[in-house]
Structure 1
């Protein structure tokens, strides 16, 4: 082991050090249960020793099938402390998709939330694993908390080395071979400095999205800063608003569709949200019109993060940039992070000047090591140290980055390209529309047609013909949707993004069943 390896401190060790500073402080809250920093720190060390006793250590894979429990965070910390790589499944994937991932990453131990024990049985029937460890008593599997209680809480030195894989995050997985994104322990430390330092005062973060996504990183930051994390099992706007007021929440992360639900809820108008200091959003495209509404509702606390699991953080749009006097800023993803290089390139790899649309390519220390055991796929997106993100965007003269679409979501129509986010932005400016999703559907001649699904303001009289007329007048016939359907709410993925795959499938089924036409 080199001297650098000996001096290396993982994110887990740094967080455990911070928890040890004030062990009596409140660290985690879940359904009225309050866990102190010292209790959580001790649980991590006990769990780590229990994992070692089960033969799970450096270079092994631990997969989590867990909801937002304090013990879920402890299990991730414990597995990483012993040098294991961690894969955290999205709970709302199908059992087949989860089993494919469990099998793909060569899972040594599946750690299970007792509430998901039945699903764990389905998954392990399809993809057997050497050990099933449950965060409490259950009919199947071994109680990891009972094993941990028999172990010492004495500090355990990390077994991980900087170059070891810390996390495996999957993109896709619902069809075909899942893609496991490999991030090292050294890279995991760099995520901690992504967000700016906040003003003095205790940070209190509300988690309403899965810990398997960005909320998990933000929870790490909060615990390291000496703050407290309040865990909700899922997103409910009324419950979130009540918790913001009752727990004096300072920090909250939401994907844009959830942010819209929060500010549109009737309770938002009379809930005290003055404690909020940083309402972070990201994970999918946002609507400038709706973000402006959020600034009016919650004040100058919005903060956008643009990044990818493959690339880490790329750009930030801070609170000051959410200026209602400069609405064009709300369309951008913010300024490129200082430690990140971004180039906009055409299909031939040529760098494009400011203002021109091309693929966003990124180079930084946060870029993934590659896709787990898929060298050919890795070589497609990682070329000469640059990650090809698959996003289409442009840089302006001031260094602000704007994302206009995913390459795979861009709709190729007669006469040119339709950028789905630009059309969504336009539809969302209609005073009777809350949210929209635009996607392409192929007709019987295999030509792509523009389809849209919109969420109207309750009680509104907006109709598809009126929306199409607005689009035709403002953007031209090329952008006019062939079909617009209205729904009470958009379907969302487990991470909270609009599920365009499901919307596209429903549209294709409707098209096949009723013949082509305009809605």
Structure 2
């Protein structure tokens, strides 16, 4: 890797592509794209964006699949210094309109469908003639480099604003600053399987890590496991807890040849000690258990040799404090709320000062997760302070779900709790108090929530109750409701 100053993000990634000139860095079906070819794509797309008048500080929304061109578009948009807004597929129309209304100068899509007056297609951008030579990163340190969106469970997605200075400081592109667990992981990303969307912070950053580490990003159009691993001879992938549970069950039932597999990075929700232990037993020493948030990026990670149930030792560049209800640090072994500082953390929620003040405080990020340190410095997650449901690794606040359910004419009151789910990790269980003389139809309630908030928020179970149990304070006691699931 060149030692010169690579400039702002994605300078180090472009250097890695130049160093991998003749080596495949992205594989998609029968197509293998070398570092030089991907770098050329980035240059042409960046030139096309500049020809469209886009540059530092301009908002660019990306509605893309997972392809070599999509990867190049993300890098090119950052190379011109734009404020990049990745849009996940399958969003409800209201949330899509909200994202495209966040001071967006242009939309880039690979579908040909127009989403805004200024819609640019990937094909047209790739046909642009490059300016000559690799693009020179133009991001300004204090500018917002990207808006990374939370699940949208509060009605509309919250946009975490990460600056170019923060993206440039991130560990993924800086091998000299990789913490020990990433040094252990990086060589295992030789054939790193990706699927879903590059709008996912985790998917994109581990793809970048794979390229910087000398690996190949392998795109899986059919992401079913274990088939995708065996078909592509994948050495690594990012996986959610529910998908890990399914993979472990499939291997117990009918073992596939996973001899190529060297790393599964478990992300999105906590992995219990029992599931962690079972995964190591069935799959071997390939499980890396990551902990992070949209607001912070990676906070800590356990390697295969760490005790099951922990998320490892936070790296030196990350500060983690466990605090009590008064905000004072607690001793080792005592549970408390986790406050975190990372070099790459977001600075605020875009255009949302009220929520920003709740979470971004004094240079720290309030995670609203509960945890403790053990005597060896390993971090253990023990719960959360938020009233949320985590479905397929996406966090959904229950308040908006309850409000939508209560809008139905057959529902007088609604209370939502999380229940374990083998397919999605957790699912929504709604307890509803019917309007007098009415009988709520669960299918109608699911359809209402799906239309307003998306399918992940729709209740998997609906239970009618005469009234909720009350806590000593006189408020509805959801802990008691949870025992009735």
TM-score, length-normalised on structure 2?
Answer: 0.77
Deviation by residue 1:391-445 (Cα, 9 ceiling, x = unmatched) = 12222222222222221237xxxxxxxxx99xxxxxxxxxxxxxxx9x9999999
1:501 equivalent in alignment to 2:481 = no
Q: How has the CA–CA distance of structure 1 residues 499 and 292 changed in structure 2, closer, same or farther, with 3 Å as cutoff?
A: farther
Query: What does 1:270-289 align with in structure 2 at a 5 Å threshold?
Result: 270-289=255-274
2:153 aligned with 1:156: no
Counterpart mapping for 1:372-383 below 5 A: 372-383=350-361
Separation in 2, partners of 1:63, 1:450: 34
Q: Aligned runs of 1:400-439 on 2, under 5 Å?
A: 400-409=378-387
Cα deviation for residue 506 of structure 1 reads: 4.2
Structure 1 segments unaligned to the other structure (5+ residues): 1-5, 137-142, 322-328, 411-419, 422-436, 457-497
Kept after mapping to 1: 8 A contact 2:359/2:366: yes
The yes-or-no answer on 1:347 pairing with 2:347 is no
Q: Distance in 1 between matches of 2:89 and 2:223?
A: 14
Higher helix share: 1
Q: 2:126 aligns with which of 137, 141, 145?
A: 145
- Which residue in the other structure is 1:139 paired with? none
- Closer, same or farther: CA 451–281 of 1 in aligned 2, 3 Å: closer
Equivalent of 1:215, from 197, 203, 217?
203
Can you give the 5+ residue segments of structure 2 that lack an aligned partner in the other structure?
A: 173-177, 391-395, 424-453, 470-480
> How far apart are 1:178 and its partner, in Å?
3.0
1:180 match: 159
Partner of 2:110: 113
Per the alignment, do residues 53 and 287 of structure 1 end up closer, same or farther by CA in structure 2, a change over 3 Å counting?
Answer: same
Which residues of 2 match residues 27-426 of structure 1 at below 5 A? 27-104=25-102, 106-114=103-111, 117=112, 120-121=113-114, 124=115, 129-136=116-123, 143-146=124-127, 148=128, 150-189=129-168, 190-192=170-172, 193=178, 196-198=182-184, 203-213=190-200, 214-233=202-221, 235-243=223-231, 247-265=232-250, 269-321=254-306, 329-409=307-387
Task: Name the CA distance, whole Å, in 1 between partners of 2:193 and 2:351.
Answer: 36
Q: Report which structure shows greater RCO (CA 8 Å, sep ≥6).
A: 2
Q: Which residue is 2:419 aligned to?
A: 452
Match of 2:436 in 1: none
Aligned length: 416
Deviation, 1:98, is: 1.5
RMSD: 3.4
User: How far did 1:32 drift?
Assistant: 2.2
Q: Which moved more, 1:77-86 or 1:346-355?
A: 346-355
Contact residue 191 and residue 217 of structure 1 kept, 8 A? no
Alpha-carbon separation, structure 1, partners of 2:249 and 2:76: 39
* Runs of 4+ residues deviating >6 angstroms: 439-451, 515-519
Matches of 2:135 and 2:367, distance apart in 1? 38
Q: Secondary structure at the match of 1:353?
A: coil
| Separation of aligned partners in 1, 2:183 and 2:199 | 23
